[in-house]
């Protein structure tokens, strides 16, 4: 976990602000932006300048952002009752074949199956098609890394996750079999809204938003490939929501993983909602905001950690820290907002950007596991400091989040 102090500054940049506004326009009406040229023109940039800005501030190419925006728009339209052909047109897909391929890649489902979520008589769940190189064992190992957790349980090829979704406590079971992830809600008859929210969370938790192919092509002809080759297809599973990543990061500041796990279990037992079958959901921000820091001290929270966590929860609940919207904008805006919070510095910021928001070019400088992995990978006689770590990670840009995950995995433990 972290070995860094937790204060830093991320000044806002005018170009990042302009890009943030343009990204919101594209998400709202992706059909108005048929290609990267239209995106660049709308921003008043040359195409290569637009591409550079999307990579720098958005951590993804223009084409990848457009594909994501089109799928999100199609999902909204389908759930609102639009015919698949109308949803495809509104989202800006060129033809039915492109729509079907793009939608399946982005959601793991065919458009018709997605639209059927929550219909009367439909099963209380959904099935996701997994990529051919999908490594289910890594995802199961990540979510089951704390065998004593009551929020997640892994048995064989099945994961159960207790979650708080839109004020409702839900137990989601995901079984991996025959290239599919079969997700079903236990002990509840879910409606369309709940299933759509759970689908978004399942895509996050299974790492389906990360396509490792561009990164693997990037390193194929480099010495870096010896790090990646043993784990082809590795993806980054995200936390169920951004709040959960922030809690993990705060709990992990300057402690080892085992103690961070223990703190999370104690916090969950204190104020997490019961989900049935002996499981308890990760507590939401409202429950943590209702605590006083003194209530956490008997659970072995340091005074600073207790203050930070409760203070952050209160900012989330009052709306001044809109965590769950951060993935929709730029990494630059998200970093600026996070690092302005008391108790959130460079390591915490980049951990949340990577594991909570899914941004692709993050380096959690000061991470003890990362420095150890770099030392071993590069054959150094010392653990690199902050500047040396940044220099060692520079060749992996713009894929440093996935490179970090590979380095963690190279320790033959479970990534943090």
pLDDT tops 50 at residue 373: yes
Residue 358 gets the label, from left (phi > 0), alpha (psi -120 to 50) or beta, of left
Q: Looking at the chain, how many residues does it have?
A: 416
Q: Which domains does the chain have, with CATH numbers?
A: 120-208 (3.30.310.20), 242-410 (1.10.340.30)
Q: Considering the chain, what is the average pLDDT of its residues?
A: 93
pLDDT in the model for residue 9: 40
pLDDT in the model for residue 7: 36
Q: Mind listing the pLDDT tens digit for each residue in 170-191?
A: 999 999 999 999 999 998 899 9
pLDDT in the model for residue 106: 96
pLDDT in the model for residue 226: 85
pLDDT in the model for residue 12: 53
CA dist 241 and 47 (Å) reads 33
Q: Mind listing the pLDDT tens digit for each residue in 210-231?
A: 899 999 999 987 767 888 988 9
* 257-260: long-range contacts, CB 8 A cutoff, minimum separation 24: 257/1, 257/145, 257/416, 259/300, 260/1
pLDDT in the model for residue 45: 97
Mean pLDDT of 276-298: 97
pLDDT in the model for residue 267: 98
Tell which residue, 370, 373, 375, has the closest CA to residue 347. Answer: 370
pLDDT in the model for residue 10: 44
Q: Mind listing the pLDDT tens digit for each residue in 249-264?
A: 999 998 888 999 999 9
Q: How confident is the model at residue 413 (pLDDT cuts 50, 70, 90)?
A: low
CA dist 134 and 122 (Å) reads 27
pLDDT in the model for residue 39: 98
pLDDT tops 50 at residue 324: yes
Mean pLDDT of 395-414: 88
Q: How confident is the model at residue 71 (pLDDT cuts 50, 70, 90)?
A: very high
Q: How confident is the model at residue 414 (pLDDT cuts 50, 70, 90)?
A: very low
Q: Mind listing the pLDDT tens digit for each residue in 88-147?
A: 999 999 899 999 999 999 999 999 999 999 988 888 999 999 999 999 999 999 999 999
CA dist 351 and 363 (Å) reads 8
CA dist 131 and 129 (Å) reads 7
């Amino acid at each position: 976990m972290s070995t860094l102090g937790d204060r830093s500054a991320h000044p806002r940049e005018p170009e990042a602000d302009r890009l943030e506004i343009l990204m919101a326009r594209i998400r709202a009406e992706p059909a108005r932006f048929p290609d990267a040229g239209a995106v660049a023109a709308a921003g008043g940039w040359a195409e290569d300048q637009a591409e550079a800005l999307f990579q720098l501030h958005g951590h993804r190419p223009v084409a990848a952002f457009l594909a994501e925006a089109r799928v999100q728009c199609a999902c909204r339209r389908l759930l609102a009752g639009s015919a698949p052909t109308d949803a495809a047109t509104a989202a800006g897909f060129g033809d039915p074949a492109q729509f079907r391929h793009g939608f399946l890649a982005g959601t793991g489902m065919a458009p018709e199956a997605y639209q059927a979520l929550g219909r009367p008589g439909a099963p209380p769940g959904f099935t996701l098609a997994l990529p051919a190189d999908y490594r289910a064992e890594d995802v199961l190992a990540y979510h089951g890394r704390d065998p004593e957790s009551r929020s997640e349980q892994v048995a064989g090829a099945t994961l159960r996750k207790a979650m708080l979704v839109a004020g409702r406590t839900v137990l989601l079971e995901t079984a991996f079999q025959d290239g599919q992830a079969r997700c079903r809600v236990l002990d509840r008859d879910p409606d369309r809204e709940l299933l759509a929210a759970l689908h978004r969370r399942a895509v996050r938790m299974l790492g389906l938003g990360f396509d490792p192919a561009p990164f693997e092509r990037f390193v194929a002809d480099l010495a870096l490939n010896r790090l990646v080759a043993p784990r082809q297809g590795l993806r980054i599973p995200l936390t169920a929501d951004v709040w959960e990543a922030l809690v993990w990061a705060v709990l992990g500041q300057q402690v080892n993983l085992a103690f961070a796990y223990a703190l999370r279990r104690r916090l969950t037992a204190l104020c997490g909602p019961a989900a049935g079958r002996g499981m308890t959901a990760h507590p939401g921000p409202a429950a943590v905001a209702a605590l006083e820091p003194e209530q956490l001290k008997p659970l072995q929270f340091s005074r600073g950690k207790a203050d930070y966590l409760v203070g952050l929860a209160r900012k989330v609940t009052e709306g001044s820290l809109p965590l769950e919207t951060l993935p929709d904008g730029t990494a630059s805006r998200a970093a600026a907002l996070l690092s302005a919070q008391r108790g959130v510095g460079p390591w915490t910021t980049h951990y949340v950007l990577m594991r909570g928001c899914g941004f692709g070019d993050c380096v959690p400088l000061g991470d003890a596991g990362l420095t150890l992995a770099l030392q071993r990978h590069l054959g150094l006689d010392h653990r690199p400091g902050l500047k040396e770590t940044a220099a060692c990670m520079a060749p992996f840009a713009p894929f440093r989040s996935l490179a970090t995950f590979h380095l963690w995995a190279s320790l033959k433990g479970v990534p943090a």
